[in-house]
Amino acid sequence: MLIKRNLLLFFRDRANVFFSLLAVLIIIALYVLFLGDLMEETLRAQLGFNADKIGVVMASIMLGGMVAVTSVTSGLGSITVSIADKESAAKDFLTSPVSRGKITRSYMTGSAAVAFIMTTAALVIVLVYIVSSGGTLPDAAGFARLFTATVLSVLCGNAIVFFVSLFVKTQSAFASLSTVVGTLIGFLMGIYVPIGQFPEAVQWVVKCFPMTHAASMFRQVLADEQLAVLFEKAPPEVLDGFRETFGVVFSYGEFISGFWVSAAVLIVTTTVFYSASLMVMKLRRV
């Protein structure tokens, strides 16, 4: 019932839903207006020839990142319920026999449920767009990997967002934080500017940001097959370079992160942040 409350409060607050999707809407607007064309030109220059379906490949890469962004921004939007309760003191909850731990778990679960619904919705929209643009749907194994990416992306985003929310006391402060995150996350996920075009130091920051791995997982499932077709006639190192430049995979020296390495990064990050949250709550006796 408490989780249902959190879901209802998020979805009935249209402004909250809108602002939690603002970063996503900005990404779509930028893509439609100019980023899509810009990235297509970059790709054509790299390929050295004009191939079919370049637009679909770029959409898959960019919108794959957008799905990962949704898991963070919608999680941020829905955790505002806990901040609002914190600000108003939620006296009716605290004078009831329900344990503080149960209330806290309801915020975590509610926020994760909202993020899962929104991320799945974003993923469906992206798949529809890809198919309508001439692309193909992933096979059953691909869908299983998309589901894995969605779950891990949501859990990892939720773990980080929940940890941060423990240190924010007011809705206005959290709104400011959400705006900053919403602005930065497009860069951190390599959506506005391909990761390969950042200076080396910035590239390392991006590669070490855990949620970028969620974007990488979505990109691999959505774009890898089409990239293989597109780069069929090109030398393999050109494809490798392209995948790194656009954040489909990351290289750490000689090591290249694949789907399951990124999954491991998300699992470890999720565990670390949930554990840290539990420790903070225990120290505060929440």
List interacting residues with another protein (CB under 8 A): 1-2, 4-5, 8-9, 12-13, 88-98
Task: Give whichever of 5 and 44 is closer to another protein, judged by the CB atom.
Answer: 5
- 215-242: string of b/e by CB count within 10 Å (b at 16+)? bbbbbbbbbbbbbeebbeebeeeebeeb
The amino acid at residue 67 is V
**Residue 183, both tokens:** 């602005």
In whole angstroms, what is the distance from residue 59 CA to residue 55 CA?
A: 6
Task: Give whichever of 15 and 201 is closer to another protein, judged by the CB atom.
Answer: 15
Task: Give whichever of 111 and 270 is closer to another protein, judged by the CB atom.
Answer: 111
CB of 81 to another protein, least distance (A): 9
**Residue 98, both tokens:** 């329900």
Distance linking the first and last C-alpha atoms of the chain: 20
CA atoms within 13 A on the CB side of 199: 2
CA 226, distance to chain mean position in Å, is 22
CB of 116 to another protein, least distance (A): 21
| Pick from 52, 155, 165, 65: nearest CA to 112 | 155
Task: Give whichever of 1 and 180 is closer to another protein, judged by the CB atom.
Answer: 1
CB of 94 to another protein, least distance (A): 6
Task: Give whichever of 97 and 253 is closer to another protein, judged by the CB atom.
Answer: 97
Q: Angle CA(226)–CA(228)–CA(229) in degrees, nearest 5?
A: 65
CB of 55 to another protein, least distance (A): 41
Task: Give whichever of 10 and 209 is closer to another protein, judged by the CB atom.
Answer: 10
CB of 120 to another protein, least distance (A): 23
Q: Which are the contacts of 245, defined by CB distance < 8 A and separation ≥ 6?
A: 46, 194, 195, 196, 197
Residue 89 in 3-state DSSP? coil
**Residue 267, both tokens:** 């699992």
Residue 252 in 3-state DSSP? strand
Task: Give whichever of 50 and 99 is closer to another protein, judged by the CB atom.
Answer: 99
Q: How many residues does the chain have?
A: 286
CB of 265 to another protein, least distance (A): 37
CB of 144 to another protein, least distance (A): 35
